[in-house]
Structures are given as C-alpha cells and as structure tokens.
Amino acid sequence: MARIVRYHQTGGPEVLRIEEVAPSPPGKGEVRIAVKAIGLNRSESMYRQGLHPDAPNLPSRLGYEAAGTVEAVGAGVTRFKVGDRVSTIPAFSMEKYGVYGDSAVVPADAVTSLPGNLSFEEGASIWMSYLTAYGALIEHGGLRKGQHVLITAASSSVGHSTIQLVRAAGGFSIATTRKPEKAEMLRQGGADHVIVTGKEDLAARVMEITEGRGADLVFDAVAGPSLEALAAAAAREATIFVYGLLSMEPTPFPLIAALQKGLSLRGYTLFEIVSVPERMERARKYIYDGLKSGALWPVIDRIFRPLETIVEAHRYMESNRQNGKIVVTV
C-alpha cells in the first residue's frame, strides 16, 4: 500500500491526513515515483485553505515538488526507466495531481533527471524557486549586468534563489525582510544589500543604494498596499513583477508613480515558463548549468522527518520563521 497525504475539507494544517491506498498505475504519458523527499511551497498552503485561484477537488492531494526514483512508467514514456533518480517540476494542476506521500503519479513532462551531485532533499528544493525567479528576471526581465533588483520576502526559497540568479547575471540584489533577525542570514546568502522594512524607509534606502536611480527590476511576493512603496523605489521604465499575494490585502495600482516613471506592472507565475516548451528548455539548461557550476545552490532551512510530520511542517511554513526551503522526507 502507498501512504499519501490528502485532505477532505479546506482549512488549517490539521486537515491534512495520511491515508493508505493502493498505488496508482501510471497512465499514458505518466510516471510513478517512489518519493524520498518533498519540498513545501506557500501556494500549497493557500490551496489547502481554499485561497488558491484553483479550487481543490475534494478529497484532494497536495504538492508540486518531490524527488525520488522512478517506480513505473506509463505507455509512451521513453525518457525514463525504473530506478532513475528524478525530481518533479511544478508543471501540473493540483486539481489532478499531488506529490505529498511516498508514491506519486505525475505527467512525464513534469519529471526531470536529478543531477548526481544533489541529494533527494536538494532535488525537492530546486524547481519552484529557480523557475519562478528565472522566468521573471531572465526570460521576461532581461536582467543585465550592473542592474539593481529589489526582492521582497527575500528569506523565502524563491527569495534566496533570486539573490543567486541576480549575482550570477552580474546584477546587484536588494533584499527586504520585515524581521531584523533575518538580515544577517540574507547577507550570508549573498544579498548585496538588505533592508529591514519595519525599521527603514524602503524607497529612501533603495534610492540611497542606487545613487538616486531606483531599482531596475522589482520582484514582489507580497502585493497589497506595499506596492506603492515599491513603485516609489523603482527606476524610470522599471518593471515590477508581482508573483505572490502574501499580504492577502487589496492591491492598489500606483498610478501617479506609474505615469511619472513609465513603469510596467505585471502579474507573473512560473506557469508562463513551464507551459511553453521552448521557454522551459531554456530554463532547464540555465538552472542545470548554474547548479553544475556552483552559481546556484538550494538553500534548505529545515528538514522534517518522517511523513507524519507534514502537519508540523505546514505549521512551521505558516509561521514565516523559515530562511529557505522546508523539506519533508518520507
């Protein structure tokens, strides 16, 4: 029997249950993975609570990222064989698939080989964060050497990945955090500048750092009223990418700053990358090359063991105490 995590109603972490079911055979174009490690993501918390744009199909599975070994392949799958070390790419809807558990069936297009130098825990910490950062800053933003990138919620796994991508591209990262105790962690993680937003004036500090120019690119996970300050901190003709809604508050459009500076504000998710094969291949190569060279390295905050700690791990994720990725081993 397989052990999987499901929930039968939306709500807090306590709705997650471990259930024993017969392992699902992979269908055409699918792969079944013996899961060794699971990477947690904020979007999964929102999905569990019924706050995600996609409504869960109850009882629902959960989870985008996992690493393990191929257990079985469906018809038409030729890229993988039983025993291959793999990780999953968040290129599917949790309305149909989920990887929380010791067995998971996912589309073969959402599976990729795990580099031999990475552990399963690291393999479960790659794709959501690096693809999210790559798509906005490299694919769409055209990040160039010498540019400044303002990163909100920088202590998240996406934030750390963004800091690394900015450095690899020759840019300068300006990381923000609400918690003073996280500032030194961000500096140690490679951030060129750190702003503690509860103690410092965001726009004034960004202008000081950039000698009056402002941030060329803004990568925002928070949205809400703070978008006004981000617009004030942006350079002329800057682009602000909003990829999250951690504030859960209405988000005003900063019209005056947008008009005065010619700003571009756009919503963004990594599905813009994973749903277009050409973009996905560029992203995959970029990330693999970065992992191989050491320019990119997964930052793991805490590993929970075993699967029965999934509720505790979700509570920890929602505490916002983490500095990097949260992983659960099976």
pLDDT digits (tens, 9 = 90+) for 120-178: 999 999 999 999 999 999 999 999 999 999 999 999 999 999 999 999 999 999 999 99
Residue numbers of the domain that contains 65:
2-126+298-329
Q: Kindly state whether residue 281 falls inside one of the protein's structural domains.
A: no
Rounded mean pLDDT, 34-55: 94
- Please report, for residues 138, 147, 205, 208, 249, the alpha-carbon distance to residue 200 in angstroms, rounded to integers and kept in the order given: 29, 22, 7, 12, 22
Rounded Cα distance, 330 and 309, in Å: 10
* pLDDT at position 180: 93
Rounded mean pLDDT, 77-106: 97
pLDDT digit string (tens) for 225-250? Answer: 999 999 999 999 999 999 999 999 99
Give the closest residue to 110 by CA, choosing from 273, 295, 268.
Answer: 273
If asked whether residues 210 and 110 sit together in one domain, one would say: no
Give the closest residue to 7 by CA, choosing from 125, 98, 88, 89.
Answer: 98
Q: Kindly state whether residue 280 falls inside one of the protein's structural domains.
A: no
Name the average pLDDT for the chain.
96
- Count of CB atoms situated within 10 Å of the CB of 279: 17
Kindly report the CATH number assigned to the domain that includes residue 148. Answer: 3.40.50.720
If asked whether residues 138 and 113 sit together in one domain, one would say: no
- pLDDT tier, 52 (very low <50, low <70, confident <90, very high otherwise): confident
Q: Give how many domains the chain has, as a whole number.
A: 2
If asked whether residues 191 and 238 sit together in one domain, one would say: yes
If asked whether residues 54 and 96 sit together in one domain, one would say: yes
If asked whether residues 79 and 100 sit together in one domain, one would say: yes
- Structure-block tokens of residue 39: 């990477």
- Count of CB atoms situated within 10 Å of the CB of 47: 25
Rounded mean pLDDT, 216-228: 97
If asked whether residues 176 and 113 sit together in one domain, one would say: no
If asked whether residues 65 and 22 sit together in one domain, one would say: yes
Q: Kindly state whether residue 278 falls inside one of the protein's structural domains.
A: no
If asked whether residues 30 and 89 sit together in one domain, one would say: yes
Q: Kindly state whether residue 223 falls inside one of the protein's structural domains.
A: yes
If asked whether residues 97 and 132 sit together in one domain, one would say: no
If asked whether residues 218 and 324 sit together in one domain, one would say: no
% of the chain beyond a pLDDT of 70: 100
Kindly report the CATH number assigned to the domain that includes residue 84. Answer: 3.90.180.10
Q: Report cis status (omega within 30 of 0) of the bond before 26.
A: no
Q: Kindly state whether residue 264 falls inside one of the protein's structural domains.
A: yes
Q: Kindly state whether residue 286 falls inside one of the protein's structural domains.
A: no
Task: Evaluate if residue 280 carries a pLDDT over 90.
Answer: yes
Q: Kindly state whether residue 282 falls inside one of the protein's structural domains.
A: no
Read off the pTM. Answer: 0.95
If asked whether residues 134 and 10 sit together in one domain, one would say: no
Q: Kindly state whether residue 287 falls inside one of the protein's structural domains.
A: no
Q: Which long-range contacts (CB under 8 A, 24 or more apart) does 207-215 make?
A: 207/233, 209/148, 209/172, 209/174, 210/148, 210/235, 213/148, 214/148, 214/238, 214/261, 215/148, 215/149, 215/150, 215/174
* pLDDT at position 44: 96
* pLDDT at position 34: 98
If asked whether residues 67 and 198 sit together in one domain, one would say: no
